[in-house]
Amino acid sequence: MPDSSIPAIERAVAAVPLAELGTDLAGAGATIAVAPAGGRPEVIVTLGFPAAGLREALERDVAAAIRQATGADARVQVGWKVLARAPQGNLDLLPGVRNVIAVASGKGGVGKSTTAVNLALALAREGAKVGILDADVYGPSQPLMLGLSGSQPESRDGKTFEPLVAHGLEVISVGFLVDEAAPVIWRGPMVTQAISQLTFQTNWHDLDYLVVDLPPGTGDTQLTLSQKVPVAGVVIVTTPQQVAMQVARRGLRMFEKVGVPVLGVIENMSTFACPECGHEESLFGTGGGESLAAECGIPMLGHVPINAAIRAQTDAGRPPVIAEPEGLAATRYRQIARRTAAALARRPAAQKHKFPKIVVEDRG
């Protein structure tokens, strides 16, 4: 393969569309490496986000684009490398975690915790190393959703927690530390201390993403997270109803004010999907998520239907991404996971904050 054909191959590959993300490989920030291998070009495309669900189709599309542009029959390999993205302020990265993604909502009852657990599982299915932190102190639900009710984390040194593991996720929750039948009656400082301990005293193990399930609203937990925890981005969960959108807007604006990047909006309970025929019907109105995303200039990450199976599977400790991986809900969650990770990959890379070296000379 002549060296002169390498730029043509690079241009062809860069222009391959990623319809799901509304961009092409160049716009997605992919790196492209081309090398001759016995007269046949070998092309390696590296994304900044996990995309196992797109890999095979993308490899075919890249090979076809090269063939059309140059006539060459290339060997194509698509992979990814997740880098740490800059958190808010000057906070240092969380040890053992490259990126913290918070999942928030302005009000309760919109399916935020269900969205958080399925987003985490979907990111893992796409090829990332993922953990989930249940920061919903007053209503911790991740132990039930992940089939870990009654479990307790181990402490090997009496100072730190080892996260539990479920379906490939590292998991920590205040629900592991309190009686699940007892109410959590804590004032703000106790909530702040609990969230800090769960976050910083858990031994996370080389995670690409730590998904944080926040309680609804804009109170102590959200402020603690924005001031102390290095959050790379937050996603906002709403439903199609105007009242839910209005409250979600307040939560979104709070994160903007404290400098936490908002990655996009997820509209939950978007439609009712008939389990018999697959027809989808809008029960709670339409356009709430799109309206919020357009108003605030952020991406619409996706829509999730309401379905009795989602509730049943999640209550049984096997959310739809695990229980029915080829089903409609799991497919939507994986699309949302790719879009969320891709939006985060466009953010600036994290920089280590270093103080200048100070040298004191004795001139006496």
Within 10 angstroms of residue 290's Cβ, the number of other Cβ atoms is: 15
Question: Using an 8 Å Cβ cutoff, are 210 and 184 in contact?
Answer: no
Those residues with Cβ within 8 angstroms of residue 49's Cβ, 6 or more apart along the chain or in another chain: 80, 82, 126, 338, 341, 342, 344, 345
How many C-beta atoms lie closer than 10 Å to residue 127's C-beta?
19
Same domain, 331 and 200: yes
Question: What pLDDT shows up at residue 185?
Answer: 66
Q: Examine the domain organization and report whether 72 and 103 are in the same domain.
A: no
**Whole-angstrom Cα distance, residue 74 to residue 331?**
30
The reply to whether 72 and 173 lie within a common domain is no
> Which helix H or strand E contains 78, and what residues bound it?
strand 75-80
The pLDDT score that the predictor gives to residue 115 is 95
Dihedral sign for Cα atoms in the order 187, 188, 192, 198: positive
Domain membership flag for residue 92: no
pLDDT of residue 189: 75
End-to-end CA distance of the chain: 68
Residues 169, 259: one domain?
A: yes
Amino acid at residue number 194 = A
Per-run averaged pLDDT (10 residues), the chain, 364 residues = 77 95 95 85 96 97 95 95 93 96 84 94 98 88 93 90 97 84 68 86 97 82 82 92 79 88 91 72 72 87 88 92 94 97 95 51 48
Together in a domain, 62 and 110: no
Same domain, 75 and 146: no
Distance (Å, whole) CA 145 – CA 139: 12
Sign of CA dihedral 162, 227, 135, 168: negative
Q: Does residue 76 fall inside a structural domain?
A: yes
Per-residue DSSP letters for 80-140?
E-PPPB--STTPPPPTTEEEEEEEE-SSSSS-HHHHHHHHHHHHHHTT--EEEEE--TTS-
| CATH (domain of 29) | 3.30.300.130
φ/ψ region of 62 (left if φ > 0, alpha if ψ in -120 to 50, else beta) reads alpha
Q: How many helices (H) and strands (E) does the chain have?
A: 11, 15
198 in the same domain as 234 = yes
**What pTM did the predictor assign?**
0.90
Q: How far is CA 213 from CA 44, 297, 360, in A?
A: 35, 24, 48
Q: What are phi and psi of 344, to 5 degrees?
A: -65, -35
Does residue 314 lie in a domain region? yes
Give the chain's domain count: 2
Q: Do 139 and 213 share a domain, yes or no?
A: yes
Residues 178 and 301 placed together within one structural domain of the fold: yes
- The total number of residues shown for the chain amounts to 364
Distance separating alpha carbons of residues 137 and 183, to the nearest angstrom: 10
What's the one-letter identity of residue 28?
A
CATH of the domain at 109: 3.40.50.300
Q: Which helix (H) or strand (E) holds 193?
A: helix 188-200
Q: Which long-range contacts (CB under 8 A, 24 or more apart) does 253-257 make?
A: 254/218, 254/222, 255/104, 255/222, 255/226
Range of the domain at 230: 97-345
Beta bridge partners of 235: 103, 264
